[in-house]
Amino acid sequence: MIPVKGVAGQRIAVLGLGRSGLAAARALRDGGAEVVAWDDNPAARATAEGEGFATADLTRAGAFDQIAALIVSPGIPHLYPAPNPVVMAALRAGVPVDNDIGLFFRSFATEEWHSFDMLPQVVAVTGSNGKSTTSALIHHILSHAQRPAQLAGNIGRGVLDLDPAADGDVIVLELSSYQTDLARALTPDVAVFTNLSPDHLDRHAGLGGYFAAKRRLFAEGGPDRAVIGVDEPEGAYLAGQMAEGPTDDRVIRVSVAAKLTGPGWQVFARKGFLSEYRKGRQVASIDLREVAGLPGAHNHQNACCAYAVARTLGLAPRVIEAALHSYPGLPHRSQIVAQAGGVTYVNDSKATNVDSAVQGLRAFSNIRWICGGLQKEGGLEALNAASGNVAKAYVIGREAAQFALQLTCETEICTDMATAVARAHAEAQPGDTVLLAPAAASFDQYDNFEKRGEAFAAEVAKVTAG
């Protein structure tokens, strides 16, 4: 655990008592704070009370008297589409509002670091798609190279649940826009921006607000080095803001759309080959086509970002290449769950928005596509443009008929996962891929995308058992 600094003797309120909220409460208590906790869910309050935390309704009048700060869990809106009443009460009372990420960055470094031979470093990864894979891949590469590393944030452990840093430790954090938007301290050593596509637009009042939340990771403290995907205008803009000039190698530009040229530091992938260029000259190349855990151009972008980070941390290209080949992939991200009768079954349940589903559609051929769910803003036009590899779509979700009407490929309304998998299996031919890439949220039928992916894998196991 990382005890929070600078809170001894203070009364700190914590709103939201899920994984990150409880971890924050524990870390605050370890730092000497008096914690007052609240969650609308009685079961969550009971769990906190069972750990000895006092709970109090923070919506009541005078709740913020004598409160020094409010720590808010990521899922709770603090501004758009409307601020949570507790957050607004804190702001009106002049009480600072922060989250566990802000607490982590102000508390991670300790006096013990003065005795270390190699200072610990923090790598923080944000973007719309690929954050989890990029973060897990960086952690995997470091572990393969026998570098001490911990993975946390939006993946793995809560940031304040991490162990205190060891000599040379590297902390890899996946950070969502919900986490970067509110944190009062953001000071990673290396910051990564994978890409940007429309998502969470209601939470950030549009694409500009969403990008602004991501940009804070680079603007609030300023990382020593920035790895930035430049295939979208926002990434190119961010790289331009961070660099002092064309030769500034504190910015590493990443692309899977074009060969990058110029005197700076670039990492790009074309036709399945990753290339690293510095000062206009190629210094390394890796064939990604046989890396089973990273299929498709979107995963090649993740590989480029992870490679760039590993290079900034001093790892040799041959070490990184070996680690890429041993990477097993993450559950629910282009995960092969079965191969039977010449048909491959792929769980990409994490493809919760149109852009991420498009990447999955481009990664495979002869696709039997299972899609649908709680549709997000923006429409499905991009899916139609990328559906050339789709033999047929099997649509699930409570609004499956409406979802199917927006698709131009052949569709069948299945509504539930069992029917969709059974129909796709029955019609699949050798060489086909049955792909779950929903392009929608899961909440109309499942608690989260993990549960949806598990349901897909379970149904695949049933139909392939014989």
The amino acid sitting at 52 is G
For the chain, what is the mean pLDDT? 95
Question: Which pLDDT score, from 0 to 100, does residue 72 have?
Answer: 97
Question: Which pLDDT score, from 0 to 100, does residue 315 have?
Answer: 98
At 466, is the pLDDT very low, low, confident or very high (cuts 50, 70, 90)?
low
Tell me: pLDDT of 133 over 70: yes
Return phi, psi of residue 378, to 5°.
110, -15
Question: Is the bond into 81 cis (omega within 30 degrees of 0)?
Answer: yes
Return phi, psi of residue 114, to 5°.
-65, -20
At 295, is the pLDDT very low, low, confident or very high (cuts 50, 70, 90)?
confident
Of the candidate CATH numbers 3.40.30.10, 3.20.20.190, 3.40.1190.10, 3.40.630.30, the domain formed by 107-325 belongs to: 3.40.1190.10
Q: Is 304 helix (H, G, I), strand (E, B) or coil?
A: helix
Pairing relationship of beta strands 149-153 and 97-98 according to DSSP bridges: unpaired
At 23, is the pLDDT very low, low, confident or very high (cuts 50, 70, 90)?
very high
Q: Is 451 annotated as a binding residue?
A: no
Tell me: pLDDT of 356 over 90: no
> Which is it for the CA torsion 208, 213, 219, 222, positive or negative?
negative
At 377, is the pLDDT very low, low, confident or very high (cuts 50, 70, 90)?
confident
pLDDT, average across residues 105-128: 96
Q: How does pLDDT run across 194-243, given as a tens digit for each residue? A: 999 888 888 999 999 999 999 999 998 889 999 999 999 999 999 999 99
Q: Is 153 annotated as a binding residue?
A: no
Q: Is 71 helix (H, G, I), strand (E, B) or coil?
A: strand
Q: How does pLDDT run across 240-261, given as a tens digit for each residue? A: 999 999 999 999 999 999 999 8
pLDDT, average across residues 65-88: 95
Question: Which pLDDT score, from 0 to 100, does residue 157 have?
Answer: 86
Among 19-23, 302-306, 309-313, 424-428, the least confident range: 19-23
Contact status, residue 203 vs residue 120, Cβ threshold 8 Å: no
At 378, is the pLDDT very low, low, confident or very high (cuts 50, 70, 90)?
confident
Q: Is 127 annotated as a binding residue?
A: yes
DSSP secondary structure string for all residues of 13-62? EEE--SHHHHHHHHHHHHTTPEEEEE-S-HHHHHHHHHTT-EE--TTSTT
Contact status, residue 216 vs residue 186, Cβ threshold 8 Å: yes
For the chain, the first-to-last Cα distance in angstroms comes to 48
Domain 11-98 in CATH: superfamily?
Answer: NAD(P)-binding Rossmann-like Domain (3.40.50.720)
Q: Is 462 annotated as a binding residue?
A: no
Distance CA 288, CA 304 (A): 10
Bridge partners (DSSP) of residue 150 are 171
Q: What global pTM score does this model have?
A: 0.86
Q: Is 247 annotated as a binding residue?
A: no
Distance CA 382, CA 67 (A): 48
Return phi, psi of residue 18, to 5°.
-80, -155
pLDDT, average across residues 16-30: 95
Q: Is 334 annotated as a binding residue?
A: no
Residue 336: partners with Cβ closer than 8 Å, 6 or more residues away: 292, 329, 344, 345, 346, 347
Q: Is 154 annotated as a binding residue?
A: no
Pairing relationship of beta strands 190-193 and 170-174 according to DSSP bridges: unpaired
User: Would you kindly state where each structural domain of the chain is located, as residue ranges?
Assistant: 11-98, 107-325, 335-463
Distance CA 108, CA 433 (A): 45
Question: Which pLDDT score, from 0 to 100, does residue 339 have?
Answer: 93
Tell me: pLDDT of 123 over 70: yes
Of the candidate CATH numbers 3.30.460.10, 3.40.50.2300, 3.40.50.300, 3.90.190.20, the domain formed by 335-463 belongs to: 3.90.190.20
Burial letters 10-33, b for 16+ CB under 10 A, else e: bbbbbbbbbebbbbbbbbbbebeb
Distance CA 173, CA 333 (A): 18
Distance CA 464, CA 29 (A): 51
Percent of the chain with pLDDT over 70: 100
